[in-house]
Structures are given as structure tokens and as C-alpha cells.
Amino acid sequence: MSVVLENPNPESPHRGFVDDLYRIGNSLESKNPHVVARSRRTLARLRRGLTDDRYAGDGYELLFRHQIPERHEPPCLLVAGLFALNSHTTTRASERWRLCAALADAGSAGAADARVRQLIGATQTGGLDYRLRQAVQLIGGARPRMALDYEHLLWDLIHLNGDEAQAAKVRVRWARDFKHRVYRQTSQKEAAATE
């Protein structure tokens, strides 16, 4: 039996949590200045929660709206903070990028490759949070802007904290996502050059 790394349940509390993040991001486009200001304040607090535990409570406000298992709270708080670093979103799930595929398009090929290797090599105690912050900030600064698939990232982080077999599958998928995107870019450039 294979281990499913995705969350097949569309009614899961995890999906509701991520949908709340997407709603905050979409609120930045509101015509109502009060809605925009409230969203900016929420995102600022979530960003501060990445580096200052005094602001972790702001992330819990979102978590407690859903029945997230306690063991999944740390990855959820991390994803909330990462979302605050790159809150660009889209309503179409098909237009959201997986983390390492987005890295392939977010900067020079050498720098992106190094970031992916650092992400894959990092562990929770070895600076994964820091490496994720760097990666999401790099993606957030890329043009055109890329909306990340934060639900997929959340499940990756949950599985990285699981058993080693699940964690290994996540690391392999991150490498595959990156290399597949690089391969597609190279193929497109070569095809354009021969036309």
C-alpha cells in the first residue's frame, strides 16, 4: 500500500485553514480600505510570528477556527507566516505553484538550484524554517508574481515531520518538481531557438 501525501478530504480542517489564508490575501484587493487595512495588519502579525514567539498567538486565532490536530499546529503556524511573506494568490487552484517548481522560475538557475538543495538537506532542527522563509521571499519578489500552493506545502511539512519514509518522498518530490520545471524551461528555449 502506498502512502498518500496529499489530503484527499476537501472538507478537512487543514483546507479550511488554508482557505482562510487565501481569503486574507484576496482581501488585499478589496475596494474597501478598512478590509485592506485589516488584512495588512493580520499579515504583518503572521510575518512577525515567524521570528518572534510573542506573536504566535495571532496565528492561533486562525488555527482555532478549525479543528486542527495539535501535532499539526507548528506546520500550520509556519505556513501562515510563509503566506504572509508571499500573499499573492489566485482563486484558481490550477494556477498555484508548488514550492520548488516556483523556485525554478524565481531567479537565476544557479541560485535556485542552491536553494532547492538547501531546502532538501535541511531538517526541522537544522534550519528548515529559515530556508523556507528565504525561498518564499525569493518567490514573492519574482516577476511575474507567482501564487504558491500553500495547502500542498502544509501537507509537505506535516509529512516531513512524520516517519522517514514519508519525509523522503517529500524531499524526492521537491527535487523532481524543481528539475521537471528546469527541464521544461530548457526544452522551451531550445524549441524557440530552432524555429
d(CA 126, CA 178): 21
pLDDT at residue 187 above 80?
Answer: no
Task: State residue 2's pLDDT score.
Answer: 34
Task: State residue 4's pLDDT score.
Answer: 40
Task: State residue 14's pLDDT score.
Answer: 95
- Distances in Å between the Cα of 180 and the Cα atoms of 6, 30, 87, 150, 189 are 19, 36, 25, 20, 14
pLDDT at residue 93 above 90?
Answer: no
Please report, rounded to a whole number, the percentage of residues in the chain having pLDDT higher than 90: 60
Task: State residue 116's pLDDT score.
Answer: 92
What's the grid cell of residue 138? 525569493
Task: State residue 1's pLDDT score.
Answer: 32
Q: Annotate 124-163 with b (16+ C-beta within 10 A) or e (fewer).
A: eeeebbebbbebbebbbebeeebbbbbbbbbbbbbbbbee
Q: Span 137-144, mean pLDDT?
A: 88
User: What digits encode the pLDDT tens for the residues 37-55?
Assistant: 999 999 999 999 998 888 8
Contacts of 134 (CB under 8 A, 6+ apart): 115, 118
pLDDT at residue 25 above 70?
Answer: yes
**Mean of per-residue pLDDT scores for the chain:** 88
Which of 3-12, 38-47, 66-75, 176-185 is the least confident region? Answer: 3-12
Contact 133, 82 (CB under 8 A): yes
Q: Which residues pair with 189 in a beta bridge?
A: none
Largest CA distance in the chain: 57
Under the banding of pLDDT at 50, 70 and 90, the label for residue 189 is low
Which of 7-11, 25-29, 62-66 is the least confident region? Answer: 7-11
pLDDT at residue 6 above 60?
Answer: no
User: What digits encode the pLDDT tens for the residues 48-82?
Assistant: 999 888 888 888 988 999 989 999 999 999 999 99
